[in-house]
Each structure stands twice: as C-alpha cells, then as structure tokens.
C-alpha cells in the first residue's frame, strides 16, 4: 500500500501536479486506488493525471470567449441602454485597426519597389518637386521634377501614364489629371512630363502658378498599350502636339535598348510649323538611329517661327492629313505589294493613334465610350476612317485615351 501511494506521488509529480479544482477528486480516487491494489491504482492515477492535464489546458487555452471579458467591461457591453452603441463602436474600431494595419503592411512591403510597380490602391501618393519648367512652341511646357530620393525611378512599362495630383496650389483645391512621362523609366531621381497648356483648363490653371520647388503628387499608374521589345517589327505612331508624349516615351525606350530592333515611324501633326515642340529632338534622334526611327511632320501651314519645318529644310506634308501622307509615313498595311507581291504580316505591325477626337475620328473612328473600364477599343463599327480604308485591320490599330475609368486596369 505504501508502495502504491509512493507510485501515485511520483506519477503526479511527473504529470506536473494536479490542479486545485481536481484536487478533491484526486484525493478520493487515490483512496479508491489504495483498495484496488498496485496495478489498478496506477491506471486510476494515470486517468486522473490526464484529467488534471485537461483541466490545466482548459484553463490556459489561448482562445478568447466573450465570457472571458473582464466583468467591468462586460458590464458596459451588456448594458441595456448603451451596450449596442459600445459593441458597434468596438466592432468598427477593430475593423478600422485591422484595415489600417493591413494598409501599412502593404505600404511597408512596397517601399523598395519602383514607383510604377507599387500597387496604386495600397501606396500613398509620391511627392515630386518641380526643378525646371521649359516653355516650348505650341503652348507646350516640359516639366522636370525631382523624385523623393535620388535612387527612386519610375520603372513603368511603356506605354504608361500616371495620375498627377495637384495638391493645394495657391489654395486651390487638389485635382488630378493623367499625364504620360517622357523621361526614360529607368532614369534615377527624375521624372519629366510634356504638358500642353489647356488654358482655361482646371489643371492648367494650377500648373500656371507652379514655381520651382513646388510639389505635385504622383498617384496610380496605368499601362495603356503594352509594349514589348521585338514583339512587333514596325510600330507607327500618329500623334498631335498634345499626344506627342506617347511618341517621346516610346522613342526613348526603343532607342535606349540596342537589342530592340523594332522600327518606329512617327507622324507628328500640328496646326502650324510654329506649334511643333520637340521638333529638333525628334530630328536628332532619327539621325542618330536612322535604321530604327523615322519621323515625318504634317502641318496645316508653314507659317510661324524660323524652324527646319517652316524653312522647308526637311520634307513636310502640308495641309489636311490624307492617304498619301499616311502611306509615306507609316509602315505598310497587310495587303500585297503591287511590285513585290509581298503581304506584310498584320500581327507584326501596330499603328497607335494619340490625338484629339477631331483627328482620331477621320483617322480611325471615334473612341468607344462603352466598357471604358478596360482598354476595349470598341465594337467593329467604331473602327473606320482612313486607316481602315488603307487596309489596316482593326486589331492593328490602337486608340489612346479610351480608358480613364476609375476601375480601369492600373498598376
């Protein structure tokens, strides 16, 4: 009997001792065990120890039940008059805290990414500081901004645009507009925009008042036409002065990559030779990369300042845009060449149109107003105009500016 009691004691110690609540029960079972002999006693005590362990576990469970709430707090939660409001406030508070923590977690995870690769909905706007504003012909301005740190870079995939928030300029409320950067995506610490003065526009009035050192904010990014090096053999861009940012962005990306063999043909359209910003830049680049870049100009009149286009130093198409100009300036449509008999591969040629509706409509038809949460270019009957007449297929033509809806695919 003495041996049985000692065994019981040893087993209890091994089990970590019994709980206070199980104490009484274990005392009675141990006395029962003392009558059932040494082996029966051992079984009973093991069972007892397991139960005590269970009670201990029950006491130390990590989960939280409402009954565990301290009685002082529970008193308020269960209050007949204020309980509902308190429970609701608690619920909303917890929900907001979880939401805010999740947001901060995503912000933290994305802080090392290039600006355009941050998930727009989960990253704060990025302040950019105006360094320089250069006035160009055609009411165009080139804005050069510093990114928050010299190591930052836009890192966008061409052709992309970013939503620029004005912040509080001269106490005017903050508004935002899309702009297409013209600096290379890998340029460190700097971002540039070519912005046409849309006076009397709302953003235009804020941009007028910007001085060096003023801050704007970059918001979410959208990738409109997805460009991949060497995917197409030829890309033709028809752009107006306001749409020249797209041509500049593509030109910078393509010419900076020596392995990219895509041929880019730009047809740059303006009212007059006086309104042709970046004329010299386009010409310089086409001289530097004659095998990959071809630039043609179309102006309604040569009148204007002294320029290569106005002086007639370079060939320029005068008057309204017509088939002859398009044939000379763009890659050929997929129809058999009358001389060689060769039909260009339609999947290897793309024509991009970035112009106001007054130019886009006669060229390729109006952009579609429906389903603008995607980059859907509209039903077949929305494609028409000169490009269709020349034989370009609907799938070959991309019209810019069709998707500015808040739900559109952004980064």
Ligand X SMILES: Cc1cc2nc3c(=O)[nH]c(=O)nc-3n(C[C@H](O)[C@H](O)[C@H](O)COP(=O)(O)OP(=O)(O)OC[C@H]3O[C@@H](n4cnc5c(N)ncnc54)[C@H](O)[C@@H]3O)c2cc1C
Binding residues: 177, 196, 203
Q: How far is the CB of 311 from ligand X (least distance, A)?
A: 27
Whose CB is nearest to ligand X? 201
Kindly tell me which of 161 and 349 has the beta carbon lying closer to ligand X.
161
Q: Which residues does the annotation place in the binding site for FAD?
A: 177, 196, 203
Helix 23-35 and helix 37-59, axial crossing angle in degrees, nearest 10: 170
Q: How far is the CB of 63 from ligand X (least distance, A)?
A: 51
| Coil/strand/helix, residue 326 | helix
Cβ atoms of 400 and 352 closer than 8 Å: yes
Kindly tell me which of 297 and 375 has the beta carbon lying closer to ligand X.
375
Q: How far is the CB of 102 from ligand X (least distance, A)?
A: 30
Per residue, the 3-state secondary structure of 212-255, as one string, reads CCCEEEEEEEEECCCCCCCCCCEEEEEECCCCHHHHHHHHHHHH
Kindly tell me which of 224 and 234 has the beta carbon lying closer to ligand X.
224
Residues ≥6 apart with Cβ < 8 Å to 58? none
Q: Which helix (H) or strand (E) holds 176?
A: strand 176-179
Query: Residue 301's beta-bridge partner residues?
Result: 272
Cβ atoms of 208 and 325 closer than 8 Å: no
Q: How far is the CB of 281 from ligand X (least distance, A)?
A: 15
Q: How far is the CB of 66 from ligand X (least distance, A)?
A: 52
CA distance 113 to 107: 10
Q: Which helix (H) or strand (E) holds 357?
A: helix 357-364
Q: How far is the CB of 141 from ligand X (least distance, A)?
A: 9
Kindly tell me which of 177 and 350 has the beta carbon lying closer to ligand X.
177
Task: Quickly count helices (H) and strands (E) in the chain.
Answer: 11, 12
Quickly tell me which residue has 């579609």 as its tokens.
368
Token representation of residue 106: 């995503």
- β-strands 397-399, 349-354 pairing: parallel
Secondary structure percentages of the chain, helix, strand, coil, to 5? 40, 20, 40
Q: How far is the CB of 297 from ligand X (least distance, A)?
A: 19
Of 377, 390, 373, 403, nearest to 335 by C-alpha is 390
Q: How far is the CB of 220 from ligand X (least distance, A)?
A: 12
- β-strands 160-165, 215-223 pairing: antiparallel
Distance of CA 370 to the CA centre of its chain: 22
The site for ligand X (CB under 6 A) is made up of 161, 177-180, 193-196, 198-204, 242, 245, 401, 404
Q: How far is the CB of 245 from ligand X (least distance, A)?
A: 3
Kindly tell me which of 278 and 326 has the beta carbon lying closer to ligand X.
278
DSSP labels for 52-101? HHHHHHHHT-----GGGS-HHHHHHHT-TTTHHHHHHHHHHHHHHHHHHH
């Amino acid at each position: 009997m003495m041996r049985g009691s000692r065994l019981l004691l040893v087993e209890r110690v091994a089990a970590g001792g019994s709980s206070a609540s199980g104490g009484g029960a274990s005392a009675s079972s141990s006395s029962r065990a003392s009558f059932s002999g040494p082996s029966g006693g051992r079984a009973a005590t093991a069972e007892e120890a397991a139960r005590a362990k269970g009670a201990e576990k029950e006491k130390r469970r990590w989960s939280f039940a409402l009954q565990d709430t301290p009685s002082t707090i529970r008193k308020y939660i269960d209050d007949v008059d204020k309980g509902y409001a308190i429970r609701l406030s608690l619920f909303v508070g917890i929900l907001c805290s979880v939401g805010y923590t999740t947001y901060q977690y995503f912000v933290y995870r994305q802080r090392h990414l290039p600006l355009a690769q941050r998930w727009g909905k989960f990253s704060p706007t990025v302040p950019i500081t105006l360094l320089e504003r250069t006035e160009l012909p055609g009411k165009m301005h080139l804005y050069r901004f510093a990114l928050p740190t010299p190591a930052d870079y836009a890192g966008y995939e061409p052709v992309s645009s970013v939503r620029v928030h004005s912040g509080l300029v001269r106490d005017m409320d903050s508004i935002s507009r899309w702009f297409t950067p013209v600096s290379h995506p890998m340029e460190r610490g700097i971002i540039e925009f070519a912005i046409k003065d849309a006076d009397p526009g709302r953003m235009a009035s804020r941009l007028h008042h910007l001085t060096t050192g003023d801050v704007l904010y970059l918001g979410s990014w959208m990738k409109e036409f997805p460009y991949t090096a060497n995917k197409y053999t030829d890309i033709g861009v028809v752009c107006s002065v306001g749409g020249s940012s797209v041509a500049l962005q593509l030109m910078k990306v393509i010419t900076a990559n020596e392995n990219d063999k895509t041929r880019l043909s730009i047809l740059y359209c303006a009212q007059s030779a006086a309104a042709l910003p970046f004329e010299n830049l386009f010409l310089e680049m086409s001289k530097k990369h004659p095998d990959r870049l071809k630039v043609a100009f179309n102006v309604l009149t040569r009148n204007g300042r002294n320029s290569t286009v106005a002086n007639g130093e370079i060939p320029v198409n005068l008057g309204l845009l017509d088939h002859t100009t398009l044939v000379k300036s763009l890659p050929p449509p997929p129809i058999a060449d009358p001389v060689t008999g060769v039909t260009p591969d339609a999947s290897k040629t793309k024509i991009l149109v970035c112009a106001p509706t007054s130019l886009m409509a006669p060229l390729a038809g109006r952009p579609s107003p429906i389903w603008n949460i995607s980059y859907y270019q509209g039903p077949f009957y929305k494609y028409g105009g000169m490009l269709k007449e020349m034989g370009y297929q609907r799938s070959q033509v991309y019209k810019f500016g069709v998707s500015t809806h808040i739900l559109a695919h952004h980064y």
